[in-house]
Amino acid sequence: MAIPTKYPTEPLKCWPKAKEIRQQYYKDYATAHDRGGVRWSGGAWAFDAVPMGLGDDVHVMTGEPYAASIAFDRKFAQECQDATDARGWARDLCSYMRIYWGSMYLNRFFFGGEFPKPDFYYQTQICCSHAKWDQEASLYEKVPFYCIDVCVGPYETLTEERLNYVVKQLHDSIEGMEKTTGRKYDDEKLIAAVHNECRSTSLWAEICTLNKAIPAPLDEKTMFSLYVLATLQRSSKKIADFYEELRDEVKNRVARGIAAVPYERCRIITDTQPPWGFLKIYRYMEQFGVVSVGSLYTFGLEGIFADQEDGSWGPRKTPEQLGIKIKNRDEALRITADWNLSRPQWQHFYDPQIKTRMMLRMVNEWKLNGVILHLNRGCEGLTVGSSENRLGLIKAGVPVMTYEGNMADEKEFDERRTTSRIESFMETLGLEQIEAARAAQAAS
């Protein structure tokens, strides 16, 4: 059998920087109080630009990436979940939430020391688990909880009243944060944070768009370590700047034909969070010449997309790019509300057909050969409607494989069963293992 084309590969130059930013983020959060700073916790979907108006020494720890970090350490993840189960919480609840609560109940911080208690919790209400997560955490830690309801329907149906509903809640939350921290809110800092938020999420969408190239300059397993920065604090200048650097490097990789996977001959996307403790399934697929170029999850959880002039899907233009000057608090809040409500990964909460349409768009524009859906028992929010997505994709003629698992609870993931399903899917796609790829992985 002929050996498929081998593309040149090389490591990402900014990889160490991504790692450093992430490490510094958790360190800053843990030590914020030592420096007189403010700590808040909440979700990766919280309006994280808003608390930035409280000062430059305000640090956040978003719960999902924190729990995902723990999930990689299967032993500690289990201890956390056991601690949560022991308090009577149902085992089928969001596994990130169960891990975060467990770490809090055990008073053990994954990155060392005691669990750092936040000064307040700040969250959006779109997923049934998200708001319960911070409601319980705030009661346990005895700190305030600000919850912004964003259940205003899909972005394509957004009206002035629906936007106003969100904006008014954001105004209220600022008053609450001022009372909680005793600090005077600085609108200029909010405006800067909103610009950075738009910049980083638009840049991430641009980076994902660059993955339309053949060979793909990035593979999804690598993207997991890059998109995560936006989930940590997308409104941070440091992160927006990093994405600019990353965008330039990825652009350069595309220009030079640098691949993420050397024997790329089949392109797929996946869906929802992966089973974090078992990312090797992506490496296994590479032995067949398969590259996962992303997913609606890696793209649209934080990337903000919009229709481009040529009709394709790409980065939404930022207020700065549109020449919009944000003059005051209300304008800043309106922009961040509108921006976040257009998040691709929020749309499917209302109707799976919207997600199917987005996935079909990815299939066509990213030139895909198939889709793998993770029926993720750990996350009701991102698995909602997945079965209808499967039917919709099949109806459109797209090969689809599903596997059951859990992003953070290894008890609900069967590795052997999943690899067997992958093998069958590869066979369906007419792919056989590439000996050179297998040997190269075995040697690495």
Partner 1 sequence: MIEKFKEWYINRHTYAKQWKDRTGGKVIGTFCTYVPEEILAAANMLPVRILGSHEPQDVTEPHVFGMFCPFCRDALAQGLKGRFNYLDGVVLAHSCIHFRQTFNSWRIHLPVEFSYYIPMPNTVQTPHARPYHTVEVEKFKKAIEEYIGHPITEQDLDRGIETLNRNRRLLRKAYEYRKLDNLPLTGEEAMYMAVTSQFIDKEEHSQVLEAVLKELPERKLPRDAGIRLMAVGSENDDAEFFKMVESVGSTVVIDEQCAGSRYFWNESVPNGDRLATIANRYLDRPPCPVKDYPTHSRFQHVLNLAKDYRAQGAIIMQEKFCDPHEGDNPRLKKFLEENGIPTLSLEFDSTNPLGPFRIRVEAFLETIRGEELF
Residue ranges in contact with partner 1 by CB under 8 A: 87-90, 92-94, 125, 127-129, 131-133, 135-136, 138-139, 145-149, 151-153, 161-162, 164-165, 168-169, 172, 349-353, 375, 377, 380-381, 383-388, 390-391
Whole-angstrom distance, CA of residue 253 vs CA of residue 366: 17
Fill in the DSSP letter of residue 323.
T
Q: Whole-number minimum distance, CB 231 to partner 1, in Å?
A: 20
Q: Whole-number minimum distance, CB 413 to partner 1, in Å?
A: 13
Q: What is the DSSP string of 33-77?
A: GGGT-EEEEE-TTS-TTGGGGG-TTEEEEEHHHHHHHHHTSHHHH
Residue 305 vs residues 90, 135, 301: alpha-carbon distances, Å: 36, 31, 11
Q: Closest CB to partner 1 among 387 and 433?
A: 387
**Ordered alpha helix ranges (H), 142-295:** 160-181, 187-210, 220-233, 237-256, 280-286
As a dihedral over the C-alpha atoms of residue 74, residue 76, residue 78, residue 83, rounded to 10 degrees, the angle is: -170
Tokens of 26: 């958790």
Q: Whole-number minimum distance, CB 313 to partner 1, in Å?
A: 23
Q: Closest CB to partner 1 among 189 and 334?
A: 334
Smallest Cα–Cα separation from 60: which of 72, 47, 71, 70?
A: 47
Q: Closest CB to partner 1 among 380 and 415?
A: 380
Q: Whole-number minimum distance, CB 208 to partner 1, in Å?
A: 25
Q: Whole-number minimum distance, CB 67 to partner 1, in Å?
A: 16
Is the alpha carbon torsion for 258, 261, 265, 270 positive or negative?
negative
For residue 408, give the 3-state DSSP assignment.
Answer: coil
Q: Whole-number minimum distance, CB 349 to partner 1, in Å?
A: 7
Class of residue 299 by CB neighbours under 10 A (exposed 0-12, middle 13-18, buried 19+): buried
**Ordered alpha helix ranges (H), 280-414:** 280-286, 296-300, 329-341, 344-347, 352-365, 380-383, 386-395
Q: Closest CB to partner 1 among 88 and 323?
A: 88
Q: Closest CB to partner 1 among 255 and 391?
A: 391
> In sequence order, what are the residues at sequence separation of 6 or more whose Cβ sits closer than 8 angstroms to the Cβ of residue 186?
53, 54, 55
Q: Closest CB to partner 1 among 94 and 285?
A: 94
Q: Whole-number minimum distance, CB 378 to partner 1, in Å?
A: 9
Whole-angstrom distance, CA of residue 194 vs CA of residue 327: 12
Q: Closest CB to partner 1 among 100 and 145?
A: 145
Fill in the DSSP letter of residue 147.
E
Fill in the DSSP letter of residue 411.
G
Q: Closest CB to partner 1 among 138 and 342?
A: 138
Q: Closest CB to partner 1 among 11 and 88?
A: 88
Whole-angstrom distance, CA of residue 110 vs CA of residue 108: 6
Q: Closest CB to partner 1 among 88 and 182?
A: 88
Q: Whole-number minimum distance, CB 346 to partner 1, in Å?
A: 12
Q: Whole-number minimum distance, CB 119 to partner 1, in Å?
A: 16
C-beta of residue 273 within 8 angstroms of C-beta of residue 381: no
Q: Whole-number minimum distance, CB 88 to partner 1, in Å?
A: 4
CB atoms within 10 A of CB 442: 8
